[in-house]
Amino acid sequence: MNEVNDKELLKMFQEPNTRNEAFNHIINYNQERIYWHIRKIVLCHEDANDITQNTFLLVYKNLNKFNGKSKIYTWIYRIATNESITFLKKQKKHVFEPLENVSSRLKYHLQEDVYFDGNKIEKKLQETLLELPIKQKIAFNMKYFENMKYKEISEILGTSIGALKANYHHAKEKIKKKLELD
């Protein structure tokens, strides 16, 4: 979606008779990418679906406040990322168990997930990603899996390119070390 299309969509969204059409276009264009972005953060299909729905509800409620300084999908990615981080923080607050137990439970969930069809290497990578700090995990997912440029990731996350490069590098080194050990 280029800037002209974003402007047209925003204009359509402002008009009551074309609001639903504009929003449907936004969903159709972004939903799958947003789902997989969220899924790589939270791992669970059901949680990713819920967060994706919440993300698009927030988009609908706040699209009138969108300032147009970035592309719409960049803004949506930021909302999705924030919603995913908030979800993970809530999970940690509700679970009064050591982090090792949470990680083990998530690894078990990954094994039992009927939507996960990766091979052993992919599974090991996902397990390793569970152990990374959230900033490193998100930077790695966006750069490695989504093949996004640092500038784009920086706009979405609201952080410097230098910090992103450092997070990506640290994540890559930890993953490499972990995969070499096994």
pTM across the whole model = 0.77
Domains belonging to the chain, first-starting first, are 1-94 (1.10.1740.10)
User: In which residue are the tokens 């969220």 written?
Assistant: 38
> How confident is the model over 43-88, as pLDDT tens digits?
889 999 999 999 999 999 999 999 888 999 999 999 999 999 999 8
Summarised one tens digit per residue, pLDDT across range 146-180 is 899 999 999 999 999 999 999 999 999 999 888 88
Q: Report the distance separating Cα 36 and Cα 42, nearest Å.
A: 10
What is the rounded average pLDDT for all residues in the chain? 84
In 3D, which of 175, 87, 170 has the Cα closest to residue 136? Answer: 170
Number of C-beta neighbours around residue 114 at 10 A: 6
Contact 54, 85 (CB under 8 A): no
